[in-house]
Amino acid sequence: MFRKQECVAMLLAGGQGSRLYALTRRIAKPAVPFGGKYRIIDFPLSNCVNSGIETVGVLTQYQPLELNDYIGSGQPWDLDRMDAGVHVLPPYQRNKGADWYKGTANAIYQNIDFIERYDPEYVLVLSGDHIYKMDYSDMLAQHKANEADCTIAVLDVPKEEASRFGILNTNPDGSIYEFDEKPAVPKSTLASMGIYIFTWDKLRKYLIADEEDTTSQNDFGKNLLPAMLNAGERMFAYRFEGYWKDVGTIDSLWEANMDLLNPKVPLDLADTGWKIYSRNPGMPPHYLADTAQVQNSSITEGCTIGGKVEGSVIFAGVTVEEGAEIVHSILMPGTVVRKGAKVQYAILAEDVEVGAGAVVGESPEEIDNLDRWGVAVVASGIKVGQEGFVPAKAMVEKDVADKEVIPYA
Amino acid sequence: MRNYNALGLIFANMHDEAIRDCTAVRSMGSLPFGGRYRLIDFVLSGMVNAGITKVGVITKSNYQSLMDHLGSGKAWDLSRKNEGLYFLPPRSSDDAMYQGRIGSLADVIPFLNHSKEELVILSDCHVVSSMDYQAMLKAHVESGADVTVACQHGVVPTLSDIPVMTLDAEKRVADLLIGRISEEEAYYGVGAYVMRKDWLLRTVTEAVARNQLHFERDVLQRRLGELRIYGYEVPSLMMPIYSVESYFKANLALLENEVREQLFPKSRPVYTKLKDCDPVQYGLHAQVTNSLVGDGAHVDGTVKNCIVFRGANISRHATLENCVIMQNVTVGDNCKLGNVIADKNVVFRNGCRLQGSDSYPVYIAKNSIV
């Protein structure tokens, strides 16, 4: 009944993203806004479409409402297809009880039926928390050429950073002989990007075995991949070259946004040959007033800018009034910054209002003790009162009264 | 929920001749406007915002760019199982069938016959507005008119077949002239009409039988005494485009807050084809003031009082003032442009200097290299 698909993508989008704190209070991590007009999930979804993958299952669990609405029919990514296309897959009740997704492998296990109806040769497993552009068809071609059972995309990271990642140790032919999770003394600099291609027959077998193992945490990295390696399956690394960033923390999310303003960073969103698609709010072009001063920044539709904006990423429908100053900050959709307010090194989530004369965030130069410095975050819908003060590294989830000074964290 | 059972018919080519330079390669409806739109977007969005779900677009020539723009109608939420967007090009290449508004309507009689709607809104594309068509339909039904003519009071635009009217106290049309005769302010038509569909079908059939093909002259003017023709004065901003100068001025009018608020009210969004451009990137040397900038533009120069469309590229050391820069235009280093309209894909090589006047902007045709 369903047309056969050579490769089906499964996108793990159920994680809470707890290290993004206030930003994921009401939305799942993949739905977090990124880069002026995107959300994180736009990157893997657009990569799928651009790579010719027509069937994508999106596994949701934590705070799915906004993510479900955002994906909708999949039309913005051209994934509203006859029987392929994008499918949102939440956990569900069966005749023998109901389970939340216990782990990444279990989430796929619970959707074996979804995958089987397309009778695929291969399954691509993706996560919804990375910013990158990648041609999965090239990775699949290598997987086939190696006659591999599993291929894991890897990035060559600087040696000093290798101990922050899951490292793969490989033979000269690219085959993997060891997984090294956050090693103190790394043997290689090939970090796993959390992108896997499996030959479906093999994955199916290991998913079922993993489910039967009651001691397993049902996680790809911790359980399923080591089990495959121990059993001697053919596992290879696929070397990716280009920009890739895990945006799972406040700092990395802020940095990845700032990277977009740096012409030396190889992530080109203007490249029409590999577009990143997103659901568009359909607002008029933005307006820069007579008093605007905008430099080295990214601004999108629906904004009205009367103040100074420098080194910042401004999302749709933002208002920056005259005399306000925005420096090295991220302003998510609908946020308003009133006259004379200053926002620096900060992330303001959706529909935040910063009152006149308020100050949010501090620049590292202004702080004596750099341990106290960090990006300030204001959660969605929060009001910072007139002349209120939000220090560096603060995480504001309650309204700030007029002239209130939030203490250091 | 819809209050009135109406369908829309849009005339995409009407008044093409008023702005020949810009419509050499396109219809009036597909004329770019305001940084990311085409003129038809305002009419089409207005109809959709009024709950109209069936819209026919009548076109007779130069309609490739229009078809490309409208596609399935998805961007206006008009790609539907029931009703939606209908593209109505000429049924034959026989020009005789296609003269005047009546000729165009005669050509779409089967479309009208197949439609279940009671009322029809006819609209041209040359007026930029955020018109509330619900209010016009309401006025039409309440007055019991045969035809309601949307109008504005002011200096009459220099369009050849524009109806210029005298209204009585009840807003019924007491006198109707075709074309501007003086600089005095008067009620003039803005190219939108409401009537019953069965009345329209009967009127068109009769008019064709008498070889009377000019709707304004042969129906409205000739039958003024016997028909109940009412004016509906549109209470919101209307900017008719009838010359290169008026096109230029209407674009730059968007730099006024009040104009943007009237044209883009939150309750009535203006929809357009999506291009999935990246956000605008401003470089380290950008100095941009009082300008409207569409997504996908890359700006590193000095820009003042300009409308910059999607995907335009303005390099470092370029200076632009009072310009309308359309999609994918490239402005090179050390260019200095004032009062210039650059059509799509124009390239200004490094060091170009062009200065038009306020009332007579320099127009650079599509795909030119300067």
What burial letters (b/e) apply to B175-186, b meaning 16+ CB within 10 Å?
A: ebbbebeeeeeb
* Selection from A385, A386, A364 nearest residue A373 by Cα: A364
Instruction: Write down the pLDDT at residue B96.
Output: 52
Please tell me if residue B294 touches chain A, with a CB cutoff of 8 Å: yes
Residue pair A409/A395 in contact (Cβ under 8 Å)? The answer is yes
| Cβ contacts of B305 on chain A, cutoff 8 Å | none
| Cβ contacts of A282 on chain B, cutoff 8 Å | 269-272, 274
What burial letters (b/e) apply to A211-248, b meaning 16+ CB within 10 Å?
A: beeeebebbbbbbbbebbbeeebbbbbbebeebbbbbb
Q: Inter-axis angle of helices B133-143 and B39-49, to 10 degrees? A: 60
| Cβ contacts of B42 on chain A, cutoff 8 Å | none
CB-based contact B293 A285, cutoff 8 Å: yes
Residue B119's φ and ψ, nearest 5 degrees, are: -110, 155
| pTM of the shown model | 0.92
Q: What does pLDDT average to in each consecutive run of 10 residues of chain B (370 residues)?
A: 85 88 88 96 96 93 90 92 90 66 92 95 96 95 96 92 94 93 92 97 95 92 95 96 94 96 93 93 96 96 96 95 97 96 95 92 92
Q: Please tell me which of the candidates B271, B298, B310 has its beta carbon nearest to residue A282.
A: B271
Residue A326's φ and ψ, nearest 5 degrees, are: -120, 120
Extract the tokens encoding A348.
């303001």
Q: Give the separation between CA B263 and CA B81, rounded to whole angstroms.
A: 30
CB-based contact B280 A299, cutoff 8 Å: yes
Reduce the secondary structure of A81-104 to three states and give it as a string.
CCCCEEEEECCCEECCEECCCCCH
From chain B residues 218-237, the ones with a CB under 8 A of any chain A CB are: none
One pLDDT digit (tens) per residue for chain A, 409 residues: 788 999 999 999 987 778 888 999 889 999 999 999 999 999 999 999 999 999 999 999 888 889 999 999 999 999 998 888 999 998 888 877 778 888 999 999 999 999 999 999 999 999 988 999 999 999 999 999 999 999 999 999 999 989 889 999 999 999 999 999 889 999 999 999 999 999 999 999 999 999 999 999 999 999 999 999 999 999 999 999 999 999 989 999 999 999 999 999 999 999 989 999 999 888 999 999 999 999 999 999 999 999 999 999 999 999 999 999 999 999 999 999 999 999 999 999 999 999 999 999 999 998 888 889 999 999 999 999 999 999 999 999 999 999 999 998 7
> Which residues on neighbouring strands pair with residue B233, listed in sequence order?
B151
Full set of structural domains in chain B with CATH: 6-263 (3.90.550.10), 281-364 (2.160.10.10)
> Which amino acid does the sequence have at A89?
L
What does DSSP assign to residue B219? I
Residues in contact with B213: Cβ distance below 8 Å, sequence separation at least 6, in sequence order = B99, B100, B101, B102, B103, B207
| Chain A nearest CA to B293, separation (Å) | 5
Instruction: Please give the sequence-ordered ranges of beta strands (E in DSSP) within B69-184, or none if there are none.
Output: 84-88, 119-124, 127-129, 147-155, 163-167, 173-178
| Chain B nearest CA to A289, separation (Å) | 4
Instruction: Write down the pLDDT at residue B1.
Output: 52
* Selection from A341, A349, A370, A390 nearest residue A66 by Cα: A349
Q: How many CB atoms lie within 10 A of CB A330?
A: 28
Nearest CA in chain B to A267: B278
Residue A134's φ and ψ, nearest 5 degrees, are: -145, 140
* Selection from A247, A41, A33 nearest residue A126 by Cα: A41
Q: Residues in chain A, how many?
A: 409
Q: Give the separation between CA A195 and CA A127, rounded to whole angstroms.
A: 7
Nearest CA in chain A to B36: A285
Please tell me if residue B276 touches chain A, with a CB cutoff of 8 Å: yes
> Which residues on neighbouring strands pair with residue A240, listed in sequence order?
A155
Extract the tokens encoding A191.
């970090």
Q: Give the separation between CA B73 and CA B85, rounded to whole angstroms.
A: 6
Distances A151 to A35, A133, A381, B207 between C-alpha atoms, Å:
29, 18, 43, 73
Task: Show the CA angle centred on residue A314, arms to residues A313 and A320, nearest 5°.
Answer: 130
Give the up-direction half-sphere exposure of residue A406: CA atoms within 13 A in the CB hemisphere: 26
| Chain A nearest CA to B253, separation (Å) | 12
Nearest CA in chain A to B275: A277
Q: End-to-end alpha-carbon separation of chain A, Å?
A: 57
* Selection from B348, B340, B311 nearest residue B21 by Cα: B340
- Residue B62 region, left (φ>0) first, then alpha (ψ -120 to 50), else beta? left
Q: Inter-axis angle of helices B100-107 and B197-209, to 10 degrees? A: 110
Instruction: Write down the pLDDT at residue B97.
Output: 53
Q: End-to-end alpha-carbon separation of chain B, Å?
A: 52
The sign one gets for the Cα dihedral A156, A160, A165, A166 is positive
What is the residue-wise DSSP string for A127-162?
ESSEEE---HHHHHHHHHHTT-SEEEEEEE--GGGG
Which of B255, B257, B258, B276 should one mutate to test binding to chain A, selecting the residue with the greatest count of A CBs within 10 A?
A: B276
CB-based contact A275 B282, cutoff 8 Å: no
Task: Show the CA angle centred on residue B94, arms to residues B91 and B99, nearest 5°.
Answer: 90
Extract the tokens encoding A248.
């799972």
What does DSSP assign to residue B12? S
| Cβ contacts of A289 on chain B, cutoff 8 Å | 289-290
Q: How many CB atoms lie within 10 A of CB B303?
A: 28
Q: Give the separation between CA A128 and CA A10, rounded to whole angstroms.
A: 10
Residue pair B192/B211 in contact (Cβ under 8 Å)? The answer is no
Distances B295 to A37, B40, B274, B310 between C-alpha atoms, Å:
10, 20, 10, 5
Residue pair B62/B26 in contact (Cβ under 8 Å)? The answer is yes
Instruction: Write down the pLDDT at residue B93.
Output: 66
Residue pair B244/B314 in contact (Cβ under 8 Å)? The answer is no
> Which amino acid does the sequence have at A251?
D
How many H-runs (helices) and E-runs (strands) does chain A carry?
A: 8, 33
| Chain A nearest CA to B35, separation (Å) | 6
Residue pair B41/B88 in contact (Cβ under 8 Å)? The answer is no
Instruction: Write down the pLDDT at residue A100.
Output: 86
Q: Give the separation between CA B286 and CA B282, rounded to whole angstroms.
A: 6
Residue pair B111/B105 in contact (Cβ under 8 Å)? The answer is no
The sign one gets for the Cα dihedral A393, A397, A400, A406 is negative
Q: Please tell me which of the candidates A275, A292, A295 has its beta carbon nearest to residue B276.
A: A275
Helix (H, G, I), strand (E, B) or coil at B206: helix
Instruction: Write down the pLDDT at residue B60.
Output: 85
CB-based contact B295 A37, cutoff 8 Å: yes
CB-based contact B289 A280, cutoff 8 Å: no
Residue pair B232/B140 in contact (Cβ under 8 Å)? The answer is yes
Extract the tokens encoding A252.
């990395």
| Cβ contacts of A301 on chain B, cutoff 8 Å | 36, 294-295
> Which amino acid does the sequence have at B4?
Y
Please tell me if residue B284 touches chain A, with a CB cutoff of 8 Å: yes
Extract the tokens encoding B241.
């485009």
Residues in contact with B12: Cβ distance below 8 Å, sequence separation at least 6, in sequence order = B27, B28, B29, B30, B40, B57, B58, B59, B63, B66, B125
Instruction: Write down the pLDDT at residue A63.
Output: 85
What is the residue-wise DSSP string for B16-82?
GGGGTTTTSSS-GGG-EETTTEEHHHHHHHHHHHTT--EEEEE--SS-HHHHHHHTTSGGGT---SS
CB-based contact B286 A289, cutoff 8 Å: no
Q: Give the separation between CA A389 and CA B86, rounded to whole angstroms.
A: 56
Q: Give the separation between CA B97 and CA B13, rounded to whole angstroms.
A: 16
From chain B residues 21-60, the ones with a CB under 8 A of any chain A CB are: 34-36
Q: How many CB atoms lie within 10 A of CB A66?
A: 15
